[in-house]
């Protein structure tokens, strides 16, 4: 739910800006360049969070892959996991091998293709994923404690839209 005064004002400024049909150079200078700097600051924070994360055996950067295996319920092939995580197959293969060695993931024979195997989380993998998600959730909850629910929902919606726009551009 939006708070009328705050977000309608913001939306109004955005629509007003967009309606001005500024030349591309002005748009880049006044809107894109400041955003670029904010994204650099965000990436710095992400690096710091990764360095700080000491909980569990799974690095924060690898948790996404375990989460993807869980979301692809019923098991997934390595190629499917690589595509889901937007990683090349060799990177995904190395990570999966490490997960298998650590007892977090198991390979199960594909009954339809004897050469292939499905990947699935072990009980230990599900526990590691849950613990890591709990750590990350606590970090986010602390960071967002002073935000209103409306701010969080708006931020989430804009972040999803932004990520989708970047993905669309990357796939052109």
- Same domain for 136 and 118, yes or no, is yes
- Same domain for 19 and 86, yes or no, is no
- Same domain for 11 and 63, yes or no, is no
Q: What is the pLDDT of residues 58-87, one digit of tens each?
A: 777 788 999 999 999 777 899 999 999 989
Mean pLDDT score, 48-64: 75
Radius of gyration of the chain (CA): 21
- Same domain for 133 and 164, yes or no, is yes
Percentage above 70 pLDDT, the chain: 85
- Same domain for 66 and 116, yes or no, is yes
User: Where is pLDDT greater, at 61 or 151?
Assistant: 151
Let me know: does 53 contact 135? Beta carbons within 8 Å: yes
- Same domain for 137 and 151, yes or no, is yes
Let me know: does 131 contact 124? Beta carbons within 8 Å: no
- Same domain for 40 and 67, yes or no, is no
**The CATH number of the domain where 168 resides is what?**
1.10.10.10
Q: What angle do CA 153, 157, 160 make, to 5 degrees?
A: 135
- Same domain for 91 and 149, yes or no, is yes
DSSP letter assigned to residue 76: B
Structure confidence at residue 56 as a pLDDT band (50, 70, 90):
low
Q: In the predicted model, is pLDDT for residue 11 greater than 80?
A: no
Residue 19 lies in domain: 1-52
């Amino acid at each position: 739910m939006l708070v009328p005064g705050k977000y309608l004002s913001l939306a109004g400024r955005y629509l007003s800006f967009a309606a001005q049909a500024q030349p591309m150079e002005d748009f880049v200078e006044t809107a894109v360049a400041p955003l670029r700097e904010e994204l650099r600051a965000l990436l710095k924070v992400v690096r710091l969070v990764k360095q700080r994360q000491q909980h569990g055996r799974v690095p924060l950067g690898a948790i996404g892959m375990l989460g993807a295996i869980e979301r692809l319920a019923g098991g997934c092939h390595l190629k499917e996991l690589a595509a889901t995580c937007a990683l090349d197959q060799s990177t995904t293969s190395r990570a999966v091998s490490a997960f298998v060695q650590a007892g977090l993931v198991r390979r199960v024979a594909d009954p339809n293709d004897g050469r292939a195997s499905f990947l699935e989380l072990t009980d230990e993998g599900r526990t590691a994923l849950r613990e890591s998600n709990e750590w990350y959730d606590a970090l986010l909850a602390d960071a967002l404690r002073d935000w209103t629910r409306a701010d969080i929902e708006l931020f989430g919606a804009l972040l999803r839209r932004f990520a989708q726009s970047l993905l669309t551009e990357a796939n052109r």
